Amino acid sequence: MPKRTLVTFLILLVTLTSCSSPSPSNTTSLETDSDEVIARRVLSDYFRLLSIGEYHQAASLYAGSYDWLINNNPSVSPTDHAGLFEYGCSFNGLQCLESRTIIQDQSITLDEFVFLVEFDAADGSLFVLGPCCGATETEQPPVSRFQFHVSKLADGSFGVADLPVYVP
């Protein structure tokens, strides 16, 4: 009898253990974000950081040329990327606004994405860039979606290649 009880106990134990093991449909897998999702997040962070004046952190997400900022701010050191962004946003007409929507426009390559971005104006409305410099709306229609490029860098991170929207 004791042997039979032990066998019954072991069968019951194996049965209960197999019932409590997670089945494939109950397990959660750790999925990594796609490059497109990461690129979109970097672009969103870039605009958020610029909009709140965190220029040093925003500059760390920027992978484009600083030539325009350097040329427009000769009193700022060309190596002071945060300072260049601060001047660009505060004095040079860059619209350092929070993004409202970010839509993937296209993938140039597996490592380069183009997004269309809409922004919130200071009053919370949709930012719209109207005609410039005496042009009419017919000659220069208003624009509310702007194209931005984000690329994967050599170190595997992503960087934004474009400065914010410029308003003269």
pLDDT in tens, 91-146: 999 999 999 999 988 888 889 999 999 999 999 999 999 999 899 999 999 999 99
Inter-residue contact 42 to 60 (CB < 8 Å):
no
Q: Could you give all domains of the chain from N- to C-terminal order, each with its CATH number?
A: 33-163 (3.10.450)
Edge to edge, the sheet with strand 146-152 lists 99-109, 112-119, 146-152, 158-160
Give the residue from 36, 46, 7, 69 showing the smallest Cα distance to 159.
Answer: 46
Give the residue from 103, 74, 69, 99 showing the smallest Cα distance to 86.
Answer: 69
Q: What is the model's pTM?
A: 0.79
Q: CA 77 from chain center: how many Å?
A: 27
Residue corresponding to tokens 């992503």: 158
